[in-house]
Amino acid sequence: MDAIGTSGHYDRRLARYDIAVSRAHVTMLLEQGIVPAGAAAGLHRGLDELAEEIRSGADPLDPAAEDVHTAIEQYLETRIGTDAGWLGTARARNDLAVTALRLWIRDQVSALTGKLLELARALAAQAERHAATVMPGFSHLQIAQPVTFGHVCLAYAEAFLRDAERLRFVRALQDDCPMGSGALAGTGFPIDRDSVARRLGFGRPTANSLESVGDRGFALDFLSAGASTALDLSRFGAELVFWSSQPVGLISLPDELVSSSSALPHKRNPDAAELVRGKTGRVLGNLHALQAVVKGLPLSYFRDLQEDKEPLFDTADTLALSLDAAISLAALMRPNTDAMRGAADLNFITSGDLADRLTREQRIPFREAHHLVTELVRLAEKQGCSLGELPLAARREIDPRLALEDWPDITVEASVASRDSQGGTAPSRVREAAVQLRTRIDEFKDIEYETGDDR
């Protein structure tokens, strides 16, 4: 039972959040006349000393304690004696633990949001530098249309900014404070739940004590947003692995972010990008793990919920590390501009532009224009020439409307420049979008809140 029931060895990272909740609780108990002034002063003194020890890097809590909350009460007993017993008045471990966990998640939201914004900034910087750097755009991993490297960087920046928005939504859903719910039914003491909620930075107390202590929806929200972030990081990592592979060679990664092969000296393996992609599996697994724990639980608290913390801790740690690696990758990757331009110079890559022009200038319905250009491509393949080199007579045989004297030979640069719709890949639009993205990042309201001096 000791082995399976003890969580103190891993939930110790919640100590400062337990202290913050306990401070607010003791202050409220004193204001309500529930605890003697001397006992309250002793509790505050003991909690302050513990917070300072933890801040200094000391580890004063008993590692053999059942959990961090028990360890803190034991610490206070050794420091202030029997007055430590007043701390448990009008509360239970159930409402204490869930409140501390909500505060911890808030801090993780803030830290991860900051990293996501930094990643988006790094990609915006690449976009500004390479707004006109032409490269192939892929669909089904087949070269589809020419785009710019800057445009692709902004695509990922948009995805990561949405991940930051998801985290902000997670924070907004956690504005209710469970303290005062007790074990499950509330308390008979004349407590002031509003004052505790305010001191801890919540908007209001939770509405139902029974639901409050057994709820882990807020934890699942965090894991779900984390899984979405991990998926975007995985796609970004996969893109870099593909781009940097020798047959493709569109980008180069710095030595610090690759490794050499143990057997093949010529290889430069994109390990950082692969690990960013690989670590997604554990983040997705953490979400599923807690879903599986919660799915069979009626109201209210069960010991099963002890299993909520390790998936949460691991997801936060994994995402922080993966984001740090992704920021480095985004900032330090270098496009091989000649290789990009050469890869984009594929036969018939501007065929879609020709169909657009026939619709725009010859007023041929687009689906019909698409069909005609498909026939032109087949003819050009047979004749071993480009679309622009097809002779007038050959075009006339396909359709008289194609017998134009001014027959376009659309270049890759012209194709890219023409895609100037809002959000398009034209260099002017990429520069404009990069500026707008930076503004949105700067205006993004990162999540900050106050829960006491030790925070």
What are the residue numbers of the active site?
Answer: 140, 261
Rounded to whole angstroms, the Cα distance separating 25 from 191 reads 9
Rounded to whole angstroms, the Cα distance separating 269 from 254 reads 11
| Cβ partners under 8 Å of residue 128, min gap 6 | 150, 431, 434
33-49 as b/e: b if 16+ CB within 10 A = ebbeeebbebbbebbee
Note whether 90 and 34 are within 8 A (CB): yes
User: HSE on the CB side for 451, CA within 13 Å?
Assistant: 24
Tell me the CA distances in angstroms from 250 to 134, 152, 253, 403, one per residue in order.
11, 13, 10, 39
